[in-house]
A and B are shown apart, each in its own frame.
Chain A
Amino acid sequence: MTDLSWINASLTAARPQAVGALLRYFRDMDRAEEAFQDACLRALKSWPEKGPPRDPTAWLILVGRNAALDGVRKQSRNTELPPDEAISDLEDAESQLAERLDGSHYRDDVLRLLFICCHPELPATQQIALALRIVSGLTVAQIARCFLVSEAAMEQRITRAKARIGKAEVPFETPGAVERAERLGAVAAMIYLIFNEGYSGGRDQARAPLCDEAIRLTRLLLRLFPAEPEIMGLAALMLLKQARLPARFDAEGEAVLLEDQDRALWDKKLISEGLALIDKAMRHNRPGPYQVQAAIDATHSRAETAAQTDWAGIEGLYVALERMQPSPVITLNRAVAVAKLHGPEAALAMIEPLETPLAGYFPYFGARGAFLLQLGRNHEARSAFDRAISLAGSAQEAAHIRRHLDRLIQQAQ
């Protein structure tokens, strides 16, 4: 790794804590971001010559703060600029600051920075874009590519979102336990949105970095809040899903269903990490939706072949998830497990009442068609599949469903 890419990686890693701390000092997002930019420029000049500082984050915070204060002084023309040595001679101040880096201050700084992006008035896509820009430090061009929009459109979206949070009351006081838990919950949901944005992009190279970024942010949260079982669950959930990426698509780019995937292609490193995290979370006996979803994925990850899947375990987990977050989509997923356990008839009876709430949801008709097909009711199956195709989001998706269904029908004959 070259010097420059090492420095870039350090700057990216330091960014959430540094911008979070600078925001606490200045209570102004633009100024905090500018200060961090300044500090990065100075780092790029100074680090290759002098070597990286012992604590890059503390260095960036201090230099960023001084640079911004310089700027303020310059503007007001009241005082002379402090000599440069005052900024570059960091040893004492840096170690003092580093002492506090592990402290709760910095924990809440990062959480606040992420939480600001979750402002409830912002639509989900704006929350994500803002977090990717402010917290992750992705360029507007990179974010625009992820969302398949022009750079100008994304620039405008981010500017608007920033203006909106600029007007909002930003909670700067140290949060209490309840407030902190609420913030963590909102932030976790936003990070999972980032992940899903990348995950649903499938093989789309442009959106793949979103999954990595979501995992990186969750690992950051875990380092700051190591004893939160739902954050462990969220991390495990994303790691276990991401582990399957190499097996999710065939050579033609067609999606491969979980039970048809070549499990040898699954990333064992990510699976080990995910399983360790879900094990750790469960020890707390404080279950939550992320943990249960992760446990479902873990059950799939532990099965060496699709046939060895513990469907009874999965069904039980879906029952638990339904209790936590009642939703027809979850019931539909449970029905798939029920079909494996008790046959298609039981599953079909279970999803019958879902037809109204899921009238616009193509996977419902896909599942219904598959159950009917297993029962030999081919004619009804065909009409369910046609309904699924008519509900597909795009021509490409429709073609994909059709190919998949043709295969199913062929197998059934």
Chain B
Amino acid sequence: MLYSLLCYNKEDVVWSWTKEEDDAVMSRLSVVHEKLVKEGKLGPSLRLLPTTAAATLRGSMVIDGPFAETKEQLLGFYVIDVENLDAALDVAKQLSAANPTSVYEVRPVALFVPDARPNAPKDVIRAY
């Protein structure tokens, strides 16, 4: 069974950490990451840049800033590799056209760690 773990925190506090504080948290996390890698449990993981760098696509409207409503819940996410924000928004628009009621926040990635499982599946895995 695949699970995703979503990490939440107060962004203004986290992005005010000094480099030393940030490094300390990241190195404590990397101990856990390494253990999970050894156990063959860790799939891809990533750290996002702050929401101030985000833009959000709602229907055909691009709104500056993060997804801010509390009525909707996070359903899933994509990682895409594109040239710039316009190209990312273009992908979001294609998804939005296929799924018009969903909102897409476009947020740059700070750190991407690929799937570390030894026999990482190449096929789609479905829980349903």
Contact = CB atoms under 8 A, between A and B. Distances in A.
Interface of B is mostly: mixed
A9 B25 CA distance: 14
A216 B84 CA distance: 24
Given A227-B64, A273-B49, A283-B62, A1 B24 contact: yes
B16 A235 contact: no
Contacts of A232: 64
A12 interface: yes
A268 to B, nearest CB: 9
B67 to A, nearest CB: 12
A9 B17 contact: yes
A283 B86 contact: yes
Contact of A12 (B16, B25, B85): B16
Given A13-B12, A269-B111, A222 B52 contact: yes
Given A1-B24, A219-B15, A223-B52, A279 B86 contact: yes
Nearest to A11: B13
Contacts of A13: 10, 12-13, 16
Nearest to B51: A223
A157 interface: no
Contacts of B13: 6, 9-10, 13
Given A5-B21, A12-B16, A280-B53, A227 B65 contact: yes
Contact of B55 (A216, A235, A280): A280
A226 interface: yes
A219 B85 contact: no
Contacts of B16: 9, 12-13, 216
Interface in B5-24: 10, 12-13, 15-18, 21, 24
Nearest to A275: B84
Interface string A298-329: 00000000000000000000000000000000
B108 interface: yes
Given A9-B16, A273-B53, A275-B84, A280 B108 contact: no
B64 to A, nearest CB: 4
B50 interface: yes
A10 B10 contact: yes
A269 B85 contact: no
A280 B53 CA distance: 8
B65 A276 contact: no
A203 to B, nearest CB: 15
B8 to A, nearest CB: 13
Interface string B30-70: 00000000000000000001111111000000111100000
A277 interface: yes
Interface string A220-237: 101100110000100100
Nearest to B14: A9
Contacts of B86: 279, 283
B107 to A, nearest CB: 8
Contacts of A276: 49, 53-54, 85, 108
B110 interface: yes
Contacts of A226: 52, 63-65
Interface string A232-272: 10010000000000000000000000000000000001001
A269 B26 CA distance: 14
A279 B12 contact: no
A4 to B, nearest CB: 12
A216 B65 contact: no
Contacts of B108: 272-273, 275-276
A283 B10 CA distance: 28
A1 B64 CA distance: 32
Given A1-B21, A9-B17, A219 B84 contact: no
A133 B13 CA distance: 19
A232 to B, nearest CB: 8
A5 B21 CA distance: 9
Interface string A352-380: 00000000000000000000000000000
Given A277-B52, A280-B64, A219 B12 contact: yes
A21 B102 CA distance: 36
Nearest to A52: B10
Interface string A368-408: 00000000000000000000000000000000000000000
A277 B53 contact: yes
Interface string A101-140: 0000000000000000000000000000000000000000
Closest 6 CB pairs of A and B: A226-B65, A279-B85, A222-B52, A276-B53, A13-B12, A276-B108
14 contacts: A13-B12, A212-B18, A219-B12, A222-B52, A223-B12, A227-B63, A232-B64, A275-B84, A276-B54, A277-B52, A279-B84, A279-B86, A280-B85, A283-B62
Given A13-B16, A220-B12, A227-B64, 14 more contacts: A1-B17, A10-B13, A216-B12, A223-B65, A227-B63, A227-B65, A232-B64, A269-B111, A276-B49, A276-B53, A276-B54, A276-B108, A279-B86, A283-B85
